Amino acid sequence: MNSRRAGILYIVIAALLWSTGGIGIKGVADSALKVTFYRSVFAAVTLFLLFRRHVRVRPTPAFLVAIVSYGVCLTTFVMATKLTTAANAIFLQYAGVVWVLILSPIVLHEKMQRRDVIAIVTAMIGMALFFVGKFEARGMAGNALALVSSIFFATMIMALRREHHASRAAVIWGNVVLSLALFPLVSNDLALTTKSLLGMLFLGVFQIGIAYAFFVKGLQHVTATQASLTGMLEPVANPIWVLIFLGEKPSVFAIAGAAIVLVAIGWHTMQGEPATDMPAPD
């Protein structure tokens, strides 16, 4: 397996782990901010254990942007989900793929290819079909926050790709900073039931910690556009977990939309692209 295919595989694994978030969050009764706080705490510990040799870095502008973008992306997405429908929130957040396509040539000097445009437009059409009947006009504040989340989602991907030597440290410190920022907001209610503790351990260790470990490894070998496009497996896989664990069957539109997204990702992946490897972190 060449390095590009390995990089795509790592990001596929990350996206599948991210997609378990809906089931994990629904499994606990705690508030969104409390879940986000504990998830980040456990993720920080997990990533530190995995990448403890990479904790100390020089705080370059790109490194700081990665940390801030990470925290804002996760927080605004949680807030958006509380204020609008989950479908609105996840669809609008993944508009970040478009931001990556537009800004990568400027920020990362990764040339925009025609196949990138075709694949992303096709995938967005597929996602629109995927959520037919679930969009609602209400919750404009939540929709706005989801769009903000999409901008920081794109910024995070490009910053991690640009600051590849420090990408592992960036996700560690991103979780640490987010935990510290949220602590004053949840400090009056830190108690956890056994069920909540197990649920948040799963979210922190697997859905965020190990997922981002695979994601930053994959980013060393693929372009930001390929990474963000492959990440669209997350909203496609999420309903599969819902079907398996909650018995909620997807609609015909959802199945068709998911198929279109998968075809777009597969077609883009099979096209190949110039070498994109970046030196591995020391």
- Distance, first Cα to last Cα, the chain: 23
- Name the residue type at position 237: A
Those residues whose C-beta lies under 8 Å from the C-beta of residue 239, and which sit 6 or more positions away, are: 248, 250, 254, 258
Tell me how far the alpha carbon of residue 17 is from its chain's centroid: 10
Class of residue 8 by CB neighbours under 10 A (exposed 0-12, middle 13-18, buried 19+): buried
| Angle 59-63-64 from CA coordinates, rounded to 5° | 80
Q: What is the DSSP string of the chain?
A: --HHHHHHHHHHHHHHHHTTHHHHHHT--S-HHHHHHHHHHHHHHHHHHHHGGG------HHHHHHHHHHHHHHHHHHHHHHHS-HHHHHHHHTTHHHHHHHHHHHHT--PPPHHHHHHHHHHHHHHHHHTTTT--S--HHHHHHHHHHHHHHHHHHHHHHHTGGGHHHHHHHHHHHHHHHHHHHHTT-----HHHHHHHHHIIIIIIIIHHHHHHHHTTTS-HHHHHHHTTHHHHHHHHHHHHHH--PPPHHHHHHHHHHHHHHHHHHHH--S----PPP-
At residue 207, the pLDDT reads: 92
> Is the model's pTM score more than 0.85?
no
Per-residue pLDDT of the chain (282 residues; tens, 9 = 90+): 678 888 999 999 999 998 887 777 777 888 878 988 999 999 999 999 998 887 777 778 888 999 999 989 988 887 787 777 666 777 778 888 888 888 888 888 888 888 889 999 998 888 888 767 665 666 678 888 888 999 998 999 999 888 777 888 889 999 999 999 999 999 998 999 999 999 999 999 999 999 999 999 998 888 888 888 898 888 788 777 777 876 767 778 778 888 888 898 888 888 765 545 554 444
**C-alpha to C-alpha distance for 122 and 125, rounded to whole angstroms:** 5
Closest CA to 22 of 12, 13, 32: 32
The position carrying tokens 């400027």 is: 106
**C-alpha to C-alpha distance for 10 and 181, rounded to whole angstroms:** 30
How far is CA 196 from each of CA 127, 145, 190, 193, 243, rounded to the nearest angstrom?
Answer: 31, 27, 11, 5, 22
At residue 282, the pLDDT reads: 41
At residue 1, the pLDDT reads: 62
**C-alpha to C-alpha distance for 191 and 85, rounded to whole angstroms:** 28
